[in-house]
């Protein structure tokens, strides 16, 4: 028979850290903390299997379940001397959800469960503190009504606000026992008015209601959205933790808090946390009262005049510091901790690996490796490659003038500029039409996740460093300024004002998540740099990875940036991009619109020196490294003159009539240019184009070799090959030009001629093509288009619908479609190697910068990956992780 319930408490537990999938993250770690002998209020965890059973059986509970829960309550009773529902020896519990992956804020916890009109009196008598008892009861009514009975939270907030105003109190803590009692009366009346029945008084009804609510919440829209965004399967289910209450709201010697064992923003090895005296549960993160610092050091650094925990409760503080160090060493990772102090006694309520910024992740990994806590390989494995994106994004130029409107907390680093919007729906709408927005909210809640995704950055008027906005933004890698208290936000009017200036929806602001500043307008930004911990991790990654990392670049600026990010050559230089600028496009148009080979050659003669000087510059930057140059690829129509002015300009240059030119333009029209006269088809029809490009390449290689002393190895790549004959035709021209240039200059140039594999036919005939081709580069953008028969430029509208309807989970243009496109890559690689041992294999589609696709490239044994300059560090790290993973698999 299945075991549905696992108990924990008093130094032992039936589960442990290894039982995450069964007990959820929270439950497994509560058990583990008990096993470590830490002070954890006793309780029990209902397994995720029970949740799955519940859904598989029409939302009912298994037979033996009620008896199991009763037995587990008895277990708590035995440990605490208190019994659930017994006013003589009152036991109250919390009911907490906890899935395998942490889903912050997704499912709500109910505290103080077991209180009713009778037991609240017992609590008052037992604790000797009536104010505390009524405060707990009103919290319970409010939470239970909201979480379990689905009543609007605001309704209760309003009642409380009105009472506070009427009584002249600013803070909740100022209400007396009698005043809370009155509020409770109003709350209960509200429940009855809304639901037509009284607030449930039977503790067992309350408990079963709460357990059912946690299970049901697994399928609420918020949770479903979160799972979709984070690829969490619904089949995991959630666990439920039922735990004896401890009280942080039992007066001035009680408190509740949250902490990170290291700074989650910078990674610095100092405990970082906040707490509130006489408070409970989420008070600290709710932004209602301003929390206090835990350590003296942090208090001084923050310039706060409110005493630290260290000062206020030195004993509890000392135990907490010892425990946090112990937990960090035990889990060998930075921990995010939740605790409560009841009348001076510390209780641990949660530990988990803490979310952190990319910067902090790097520092923590490097520091922990230096401390000997983890190996370098583990340090490399711990960094999420995608998160590096945050560090590869601009920051505000320190020299730029800053027009500061407001200052909040530096909640998530990086700078962002955009038009302000005041709702998440607006953020999403604006994003859809290509606008960059800053989402401005008083505070955010889980309902804002989609808006936070759509925004460049997030700005809130309320909330601390551990507020919802701050935690979620750091997880997403978005700049965030939280708690900018001087901002007045008016949702109705759609305005935000500070320092007497009012900003409307659509006005531009910049936020600096590293300083907390909010700036007017857009501000000059600085490009990022790789140094310090980033450089260390990269160095370690480089020592581990097998594949080399190149970049896709054609401009000197991109090539230089890529080299500074560690690119080991160019994997794709798109020559057509070199022809769009100024004068060149006119010569290019002349070439395309020529009627005869002679005219075409004349135009190509104009292009040759420009092309040669481009290559020369690239080859100097990439001295000693391989550079793959793709011959002209795009549909010619992309270069055709469109406006009257452009047509006249070209007509004059060619000395032909405008009418004649227009006619010629029309004959070049294609119905489906993507599948038209492009790629090697251009070189077959007009070999002189390929010849000019080859000459420019070889002449530049000779010259660059002379200048730098370490010549590049040009790899000339023929695009869109489907037939070996196409490739052979073009290769013969390239080889002839190479011979000529070498004879003319007397310099031998080492070079390779290869092809892109971007048509299914090329993959299927790779063995034959490899008889001539010396390398393959998988052009997975076009290969995805031609495999699916989907045009990438037209895909957005229906792929989104596919995703929503669950027809296709992932955009195949972002992450490689392993089963289809990947299969063709695999076939191409195997056949290529079969025909030519040691054939060089690489990838140059956008997938070369996508970590999941990089794992696939490692699996099929590619030699290199090539990606855009900004993604080079991501690719270096992902390649190292892929190498570790595949080494593990094969051993």
Q: Could you tell which of ligand ADP, Mg ion, none binds residue 466, using a CB distance below 5 to 8 A set by kind?
A: none
| By the rule CB under 6 A, 261 interacts with ligand ADP | no
Q: Could you tell which of Mg ion, ligand ADP, none binds residue 866, using a CB distance below 5 to 8 A set by kind?
A: none
Return the bridge partners of 843, or none: 778, 865
Q: 483-487: which pairs have CB atoms within 8 A and are 24 or more residues apart? A: 483/287, 483/408, 483/409, 483/411, 484/406, 484/407, 484/408, 484/409, 484/459, 484/460, 484/516, 484/518, 485/408, 485/461, 486/406, 486/407, 487/405, 487/406, 487/408, 487/440, 487/459, 487/461, 487/518
Residue tagged active-site, from 34, 844, 857, 867: 844
Least spacing, CB of residue 340 vs Mg ion, in Å: 11
Q: Residues 624-653: x/- map of binding to ligand ADP (CB under 6 A)? A: ------------------------------
Return the bridge partners of 338, or none: 258, 350
* Rounded Cα gap, residues 556 and 692, in angstroms: 21
Q: Which residue is nearest to Mg ion (CB)?
A: 782
With a CB cutoff of 8 Å and minimum separation 6, the contacts of 428 are 450, 451, 454
Measured CA to CA in angstroms, residue 669 lies from 591, 618, 658, 662 at distances of 16, 34, 17, 11
Least spacing, CB of residue 579 vs ligand ADP, in Å: 57
Q: Could you tell which of Mg ion, ligand ADP, none binds residue 94, using a CB distance below 5 to 8 A set by kind?
A: ligand ADP
Least spacing, CB of residue 97 vs ligand ADP, in Å: 7
Q: How many CA atoms lie within 13 A of 18 on its CB side?
A: 1
Name which of 245 and 877 has its Cβ closer to ligand ADP. 245
Name which of 145 and 517 has its Cβ closer to ligand ADP. 145
Least spacing, CB of residue 775 vs Mg ion, in Å: 16
Counting Cβ atoms within 10 Å, is residue 655 exposed (0-12), middle (13-18) or buried (19+)? exposed
SS3 551: strand
Least spacing, CB of residue 60 vs ligand ADP, in Å: 25
- Taking Cα atoms as reference points, which of 150, 154, 86, 147 lies closest to residue 114? 86
Strand order in the sheet with 345-353: 292-293, 272-277, 255-260, 335-342, 345-353
153 backbone dihedrals φ, ψ, rounded to 5°: -55, -40
Residue tagged active-site, from 393, 468, 847, 855: 468
* Rounded Cα gap, residues 168 and 475, in angstroms: 40
Name which of 90 and 692 has its Cβ closer to ligand ADP. 90
Which member of 15, 41, 528, 754 binds ligand ADP (CB under 6 A)? 41
Q: Could you tell which of Mg ion, ligand ADP, none binds residue 711, using a CB distance below 5 to 8 A set by kind?
A: none
SS3 3: coil
Which member of 23, 148, 316, 349 binds ligand ADP (CB under 6 A)? 349
Least spacing, CB of residue 608 vs Mg ion, in Å: 24
Interface with ligand ADP by CB under 6 A: which range of 153-161, 242-250, 642-650, 785-793? 242-250
With a CB cutoff of 8 Å and minimum separation 6, the contacts of 131 are 175, 176, 177, 180
Q: Could you tell which of Mg ion, ligand ADP, none binds residue 96, using a CB distance below 5 to 8 A set by kind?
A: ligand ADP
SS3 245: coil
- Taking Cα atoms as reference points, which of 841, 830, 829 lies closest to residue 715? 841
Name which of 346 and 741 has its Cβ closer to ligand ADP. 346
| By the rule CB under 6 A, 246 interacts with ligand ADP | yes
Name which of 344 and 834 has its Cβ closer to ligand ADP. 344
Interface with ligand ADP by CB under 6 A: which range of 241-249, 435-443, 562-570, 802-810? 241-249
Name which of 245 and 421 has its Cβ closer to ligand ADP. 245
Interface residues with Mg ion (CB under 5 A) are 338, 350, 758, 779, 782
SS3 254: coil
| By the rule CB under 6 A, 243 interacts with ligand ADP | yes
Q: Residues 109-148: x/- map of binding to ligand ADP (CB under 6 A)? A: x-x-------------------------------------
* Rounded Cα gap, residues 715 and 841, in angstroms: 12
Which two three-digit tokens encode residue 164?
């506070």
Residue with tokens 């000395």: 655
- Stretch 861-890 residues interacting with ligand ADP (CB under 6 A): none
| By the rule CB under 6 A, 42 interacts with ligand ADP | no
Interface with ligand ADP by CB under 6 A: which range of 239-247, 410-418, 643-651, 741-749? 239-247
Name which of 27 and 408 has its Cβ closer to Mg ion. 27
- How far the first Cα of the chain sits from its last, in Å, is 37
Q: What is the 8-class DSSP label of residue 836?
A: S
Q: Could you tell which of ligand ADP, Mg ion, none binds residue 703, using a CB distance below 5 to 8 A set by kind?
A: none
Least spacing, CB of residue 309 vs ligand ADP, in Å: 15
Least spacing, CB of residue 881 vs ligand ADP, in Å: 29
Least spacing, CB of residue 389 vs Mg ion, in Å: 25
Q: How many CA atoms lie within 13 A of 109 on its CB side?
A: 23
Name which of 274 and 282 has its Cβ closer to ligand ADP. 282
Least spacing, CB of residue 783 vs Mg ion, in Å: 8
Instruction: Go through 515-543 and write b for each residue having 16 or more CB atoms within 10 A of its CB, e for each that does not.
Output: bbbbbbeebebeebebeebbebbbebbbe
Q: Could you tell which of Mg ion, ligand ADP, none binds residue 779, using a CB distance below 5 to 8 A set by kind?
A: Mg ion
Name which of 350 and 787 has its Cβ closer to Mg ion. 350
Residue with tokens 């609510």: 213
Q: Could you tell which of ligand ADP, Mg ion, none binds residue 607, using a CB distance below 5 to 8 A set by kind?
A: none
Q: Could you tell which of Mg ion, ligand ADP, none binds residue 782, using a CB distance below 5 to 8 A set by kind?
A: Mg ion
SS3 328: helix
Name which of 311 and 637 has its Cβ closer to Mg ion. 637
Counting Cβ atoms within 10 Å, is residue 754 exposed (0-12), middle (13-18) or buried (19+)? buried
Name which of 87 and 105 has its Cβ closer to ligand ADP. 105
Which member of 20, 75, 82, 96 binds ligand ADP (CB under 6 A)? 96
Least spacing, CB of residue 518 vs ligand ADP, in Å: 28
Report the Cα 600 to chain-centroid distance in Å. 50
| By the rule CB under 6 A, 256 interacts with ligand ADP | yes
Least spacing, CB of residue 357 vs ligand ADP, in Å: 20
Instruction: Go through 220-252 and write b for each residue having 16 or more CB atoms within 10 A of its CB, e for each that does not.
Output: eebbebbbeeeebeeebbbbbbbbbbbbbbbbe
Residues 733, 781 contacting (CB under 8 angstroms): no
* Rounded Cα gap, residues 102 and 91, in angstroms: 28
Name which of 96 and 188 has its Cβ closer to Mg ion. 96
* Rounded Cα gap, residues 759 and 780, in angstroms: 9
Q: Could you tell which of ligand ADP, Mg ion, none binds residue 111, using a CB distance below 5 to 8 A set by kind?
A: ligand ADP
DSSP 557-591: HHHHHHHHTT--SEEEEEGGGGGSSHHHHHHHHHH
Q: Residues 327-346: x/- map of binding to ligand ADP (CB under 6 A)? A: -----------x-x------
Q: Is 685 left (phi over 0), alpha (psi -120 to 50) or beta?
A: alpha
- Stretch 272-291 residues interacting with ligand ADP (CB under 6 A): 281-282
573 has catalytic annotation: no
Residues forming the site for ligand ADP (CB under 6 A): 41, 94, 96, 105, 109, 111, 243-246, 256, 281-282, 338, 340, 349-350
Active site (catalytic) residues? 468, 844
């Amino acid at each position: 028979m299945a075991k549905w319930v696992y108990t924990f408490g008093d130094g032992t537990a039936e589960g442990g850290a290894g039982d995450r999938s069964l007990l959820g993250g929270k439950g497994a770690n509560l058990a583990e903390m008990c096993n470590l002998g830490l002070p954890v209020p006793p309780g029990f965890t209902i397994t995720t299997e029970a949740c799955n059973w519940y859904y598989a059986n029409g939302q009912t509970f298994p037979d033996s379940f009620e008896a199991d829960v009763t037995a587990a309550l008895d277990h708590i009773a035995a440990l605490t001397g208190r019994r659930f529902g017994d006013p003589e020896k009152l036991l109250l519990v919390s009911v907490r959800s906890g899935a395998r992956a942490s889903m912050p804020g997704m499912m709500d916890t109910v505290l103080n469960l077991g209180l009713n009109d009778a037991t609240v009196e017992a609590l008052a008598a037992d604790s000797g503190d009536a104010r505390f008892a009524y405060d707990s009861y009103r919290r319970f009514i409010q939470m239970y009504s909201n979480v379990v009975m689905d009543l609007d939270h605001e309704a209760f907030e309003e009642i409380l606000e009105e009472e506070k105003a009427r009584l002249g109190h600013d803070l909740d803590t100022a209400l007396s026992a009698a005043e809370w009692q009155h509020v409770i009366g109003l709350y209960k009346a509200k429940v009855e008015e809304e639901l037509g029945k009284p607030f449930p008084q039977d503790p067992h009804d309350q408990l079963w209601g709460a357990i059912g609510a946690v299970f049901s919440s697994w399928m609420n829209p918020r949770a479903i959205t979160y799972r979709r965004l984070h690829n969490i399967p619904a089949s995991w289910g959630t666990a439920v933790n039922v735990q004896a209450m401890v009280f942080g709201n039992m007066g001035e010697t009680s408190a509740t808090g949250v902490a990170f064992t290291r700074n989650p923003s910078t990674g610095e090895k100092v405990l970082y946390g906040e707490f509130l005296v006489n408070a409970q549960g989420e008070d600290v993160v709710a932004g209602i009262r301003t929390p206090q610092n835990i350590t003296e050091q942090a208090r001084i650094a923050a310039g706060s005049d409110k005493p630290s925990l260290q000062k206020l409760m030195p004993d509890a503080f000392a135990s907490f510091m010892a425990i946090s160090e112990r937990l960090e060493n035990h889990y060998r990772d930075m921990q995010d901790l939740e605790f409560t102090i009841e009348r001076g006694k510390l209780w641990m309520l949660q530990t988990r690996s803490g979310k952190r910024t990319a910067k902090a992740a790097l520092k923590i990994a490097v520091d922990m490796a230096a401390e000997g806590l983890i190996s370098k390989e583990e340090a490399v494995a711990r960094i999420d490659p995608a998160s590096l994106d945050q560090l590869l994004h601009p920051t505000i130029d320190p020299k730029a003038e800053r027009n500061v409107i407001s200052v909040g907390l530096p909640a998530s680093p990086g700078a962002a500029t955009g038009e302000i919007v005041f709702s998440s729906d607006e953020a999403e709408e604006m994003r859809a039409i290509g606008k960059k927005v800053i989402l401005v909210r008083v505070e955010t809640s889980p309902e804002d996740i989609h808006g936070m995704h759509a925004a460049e950055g997030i700005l809130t008027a309320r909330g601390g460093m551990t507020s919802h906005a701050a935690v979620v933004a750091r997880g997403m890698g978005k700049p965030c300024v939280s708690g900018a208290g001087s901002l007045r936000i008016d949702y109705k009017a759609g305005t935000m004002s500070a320092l007497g200036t009012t900003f409307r929806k659509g006005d531009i602001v910049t936020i600096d998540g590293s300083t907390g500043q909010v700036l007017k307008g857009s501000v000059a930004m600085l490009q990022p740099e790789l140094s310090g911990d980033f450089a260390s991790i990269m160095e370690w990654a480089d020592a581990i990875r097998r594949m080399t990392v190149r970049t896709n670049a054609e401009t000197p600026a991109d090539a230089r940036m890529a080299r500074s990010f560690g690119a080991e050559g160019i994997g794709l230089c798109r020559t057509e991009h070199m022809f769009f600028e100024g004068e060149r496009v006119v010569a290019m148009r002349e070439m395309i619109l020529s009627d005869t080979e002679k005219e075409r050659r004349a135009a190509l003669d104009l292009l040759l020196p420009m092309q040669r000087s481009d290559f020369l510059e690239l080859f100097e930057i990439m001295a000693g490294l391989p550079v793959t140059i793709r011959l002209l690829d795009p549909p010619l129509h992309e270069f055709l003159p469109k406006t009257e002015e452009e047509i006249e300009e070209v007509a004059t240059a060619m000395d032909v009539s405008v009418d004649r030119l227009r006619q010629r333009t029309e004959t070049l029209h294609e119905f489906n240019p993507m599948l038209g006269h492009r790629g090697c088809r251009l070189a077959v029809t007009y070999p002189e184009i390929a010849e000019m490009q080859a000459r420019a390449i070889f002449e530049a290689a000779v010259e660059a070799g002379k200048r730098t002393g370490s010549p590049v190895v040009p790899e000339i790549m023929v695009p869109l090959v489907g037939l070996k004959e196409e490739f052979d035709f073009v290769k013969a021209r390239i080889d002839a030009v190479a011979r000529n240039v070498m004879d003319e200059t007397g310099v031998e140039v080492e070079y390779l001629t290869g092809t892109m594999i971007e048509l299914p036919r090329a993959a299927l005939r790779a063995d034959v093509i490899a008889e001539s081709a010396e390398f393959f580069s998988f052009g997975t953008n076009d290969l995805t288009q031609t495999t699916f028969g989907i045009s990438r430029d037209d895909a957005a509208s229906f792929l989104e619908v596919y995703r929503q309807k669950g027809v296709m989970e992932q955009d195949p243009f972002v992450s490689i479609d392993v089963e289809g496109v990947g299969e063709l890559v695999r076939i191409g690689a195997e056949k290529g190697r079969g025909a030519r041992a040691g054939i060089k294999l690489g990838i140059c589609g956008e997938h070369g910068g996508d970590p999941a696709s990089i794992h696939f490239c490692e699996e099929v044994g590619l030699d290199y990956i090539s990606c855009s300059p900004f993604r080079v560090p991501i690719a270096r790290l992902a390649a190292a992780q892929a190498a570790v993973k595949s080494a593990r698999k094969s051993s």
